[in-house]
Amino acid sequence: MKQSFLMLFLCAAFSFAQQQATGYVFEDANKNGIKDRKEKGIANVSVSNGVEVVKTDETGKYALPVENDNIIFVIKPANYATPKSNMQLPQFYYIHKPEGSPKDMKYAGVKPTGKLPKEINFPLYVQKENTQFKVLVFGDPQPYDEKEIDYFRRGIINEVKNNKKDAVFGISLGDLVGDDLSLHPLYIDAVKEIGLPWYNVMGNHDMNYEAKEDKLSDETFEANFGPNNYAFNYGNVHFIVLDDILYPDPRDGKSYWGGFRKDQLDFVENDLKNVNPNQLVVFSFHIQLTPENDGDKHFRMEDRKRLFEILKPFQNVLMMSAHTHKQTQLFYGKKEGWEGIKPIHEFNAGTTSGDWYSGTVDELGVPKSVMRDGTERGYSFVSFNDNQYEITYKVAGKPEDYQINLWVPKVVPFKTKNAARIVANFFMGSKQDKVEYRIDNGEWKEMDYTESIDPDYTNDVLKWDTTQELFTGRRPSNPEASKHIWTAPFSRKLELGTHEVEVRAKDRYGKTYTTKSTFEVKNSTLIP
My answer on whether 389 and 432 are in the same domain is: no
d(Cα 323, Cα 141) in Å, to the nearest integer?
A: 10
Asked if 35 and 104 sit in the same domain, the reply is yes
- Boundary residue ending a domain (363, 395, 427): 395
Q: Which residues does 203 contact at the CB level (< 8 Å), separation at least 6?
A: 140, 142, 173, 174, 175, 176, 245, 286, 322, 323
User: Both 208 and 347 in a single domain?
Assistant: yes
Cβ atoms of 210 and 253 closer than 8 Å: no
Query: Is the domain of 409 the same as that of 385?
Result: no
**DSSP structure string for 196-245:** S-EEE---GGGS-TT-SSGGGTTHHHHHHH--SSEEEEETTEEEEE---E
Task: Let me know whether 118 and 174 are in one domain.
Answer: no
Q: Is residue 315 packed enough to be buried (19+ CB in 10 Å), middle (13-18) or exposed (0-12)?
A: middle
Residues of the chain with pLDDT under 50: 1-2, 4-16, 294-295
Q: What is the DSSP string of 397-435?
A: TS-TT--EEEE--SEEETTS----EEEEEETT--TTSEE
Whether the Cβ atoms of residue 122 and residue 47 lie closer than 8 Å to each other: yes
The β-bridge relationship of strands 19-27 and 122-126 is: parallel
Could you tell me what percentage of the chain is helix, strand and coil, using 3-state DSSP and rounding each to the nearest 5?
20, 30, 50
Best CA proximity match to 452, nearest among 479, 492, 471: 479
From 372, 395, 418, the end of a domain falls on 395
- Tell whether 61 and 199 lie within a shared domain: no
26 in a domain, yes or no? yes
Q: Are strands 237-241 and 280-284 parallel, antiparallel or unpaired?
A: parallel
CA dist., res. 318 & res. 302, Å (int): 20
Q: pTM of this prediction?
A: 0.94
> Which pLDDT does position 528 carry in this prediction?
58
CB within 8 Å of 150: residues ≥ 6 apart: none
Same domain, 171 and 39: no
Is the same domain home to 117 and 249?
no
Please, are residues 418 and 494 in contact by the beta-carbon 8 Å criterion? no
Ordered alpha helix ranges (H), 261-321:
262-272, 301-310
Which range of residues forms the domain containing residue 355? 124-395
Domain harbouring 56, CATH code: 2.60.40.10
Contact 371, 395 (CB under 8 A): no
End residue of a domain, out of 367, 395, 423: 395
**527 within domain boundaries:** no
Q: Is residue 138 part of a domain?
A: yes
Both 134 and 267 in a single domain? yes
User: Given this model, what pLDDT does residue 296 score?
Assistant: 52
Does residue 4 lie in a domain region? no
> Per the domain annotation, does 99 fall within a domain?
yes
Query: Do 119 and 132 sit in the same domain of this protein?
Result: no
Q: 448 with 487: CB under 8 angstroms?
A: yes
Per-residue pLDDT of 504-528, as tens digits, reads: 999 999 999 999 999 999 998 765 5
Determine, yes or no, domain membership for 7: no
Look at residue 292 in the predicted model and tell me its pLDDT. 66
Q: Rounded to an integer, what distance in angstroms lies between the CA atom of residue 160 and that of residue 153?
A: 10
Kindly report the backbone phi and psi dihedral angles of residue 268, in degrees, each rounded to the nearest multiple of 5, phi listed first.
-60, -45
Domain count, the chain: 3
Question: Does residue 109 share a domain with residue 83?
Answer: yes
Task: Look at residue 528 and tell me if it is in a domain.
Answer: no
Q: Based on the domain organization, do 113 and 97 belong to the same domain?
A: yes
Residue 3 lies in a domain: no
d(CA 294, CA 480): 10
Output the domain CATH number for residue 312: 3.60.21.10
